Amino acid sequence: MPTELRDPVTVALTGASGAQYGLRLIEALVAADHQVWVMISKAAHLVIATETDHELPARPARLAEVLTERCAAAPGQIRCFAREDWMAPVASGSGAPSAMVICPCSTGTLSAVATGASNNLIERAADVALKERRTLILVPRETPFSAIHLEHMLALTRMGAVILPAAPGFYHQPTSVDDLVDFIVARILNQLGIAHRLMPRWGEGAGQGATSRGD
């Protein structure tokens, strides 16, 4: 692995619709030379197979190989962890990265994180991020939201997490699904403070119709 790789970011894909957001986020982090530590829930595997042309392997070592090839990542740049790999670095405050993104975030995982369930490695890693006051971004996708969902989002916001719903804007005049996906991924990268070229920030483009606001 080249020494110039930047700090790891944890990316967890759970079983909400919008697997494309998570896969594109991994690609963008790799392109920004970050190490990416990936966890994919069982339901997310089903969603990925339903929504994309990919059927990703469940076994972490093989999954890492497939994602490495897909994202043209450096050897070792992407690491994957199993559902109950309690020995993974993300399971402890002493090993977890400074930032974690759950993208997309199912309402089930949203609930588990809000209540500290820690029943699988994704939930535990998010719990660690909260207790260590690290950056935690959740990208929920559901519509409409119930009072339970809204209360969990409010609770997590109050705990310091960022709720960044998968709700792309249209003021950049998207012409493809990729444009809509990039809108959300750009917002996540902005939150992480990672430079990107997915779309110009508001006021930076040739005309405002071609630029992206921060909201």
Ligand X SMILES: Cc1cc2nc3c(=O)[nH]c(=O)nc-3n(C[C@H](O)[C@H](O)[C@H](O)COP(=O)(O)O)c2cc1C
What residue type is 34 in one-letter code?
H
- Cβ nearer to ligand X, comparing 38 with 44: 44
For the bound state, the minimum distance from the C-beta of residue 124 to ligand X, rounded and expressed in Å, comes to 13
Binding residues for FMN: 15-17, 41, 106-109, 141
Binding site for ligand X (CB under 6 A): 14-17, 41, 43-44, 46-47, 50, 106-109, 141-142
- Cβ nearer to ligand X, comparing 106 with 135: 106
- Cβ nearer to ligand X, comparing 16 with 56: 16
For the bound state, the minimum distance from the C-beta of residue 144 to ligand X, rounded and expressed in Å, comes to 12
- Cβ nearer to ligand X, comparing 41 with 68: 41
For the bound state, the minimum distance from the C-beta of residue 89 to ligand X, rounded and expressed in Å, comes to 21
Angstrom distance (rounded) from CA 104 to CA 98:
19
Binding residues for dimethylallyl phosphate: 171, 187
